Amino acid sequence: MRFAIRFLRHRGRILPWRDVVNQEARIGDLPIEECLDAELHRYVRMARLFDAESAIYSNKLPELLDVRLMAMSPQAFTLSGFERIAGVEYAQSWLVTE
């Protein structure tokens, strides 16, 4: 199933709502699974966005670690966790729509 994702934070800081709704959505498949994280030395629940056009995973697409479902409505849901950018971990939330 294809989803549209918009980021609610940038490097851990909350984005203004106008920036969230005006950003270009990233579209793709959104599997959520338990994976071993080599840096944390433990299993984490990970959400990954896969390009809808190719079956090849790209590290340019976002990953959300220790993902949790925070809110859900008929139109959208919000996932929360953290992202890793250049070895630094930041809080992140995704607004997910169809």
Structure confidence by residue, pLDDT tens digits, 55-76: 655 566 789 999 999 999 999 9
pLDDT for residue 51? 79
Count of domains forming the chain: 1
Confidence of residue 1 (pLDDT cuts 50, 70, 90): confident
DSSP codes, 4-44: EEEESEETTEEPPHHHHHHSPPEEEE--EEEEEETTTTEEE
The chain-wide mean pLDDT, for the chain, equals: 91
Q: What pTM, to 2 d.p., does this model score?
A: 0.88
φ and ψ of 41, to 5 deg:
60, 40
Q: Which structural domain, as residue segments, surrounds residue 72?
A: 2-97
Please state the rounded mean pLDDT for residues 80-96: 95
Please state the rounded mean pLDDT for residues 20-28: 93
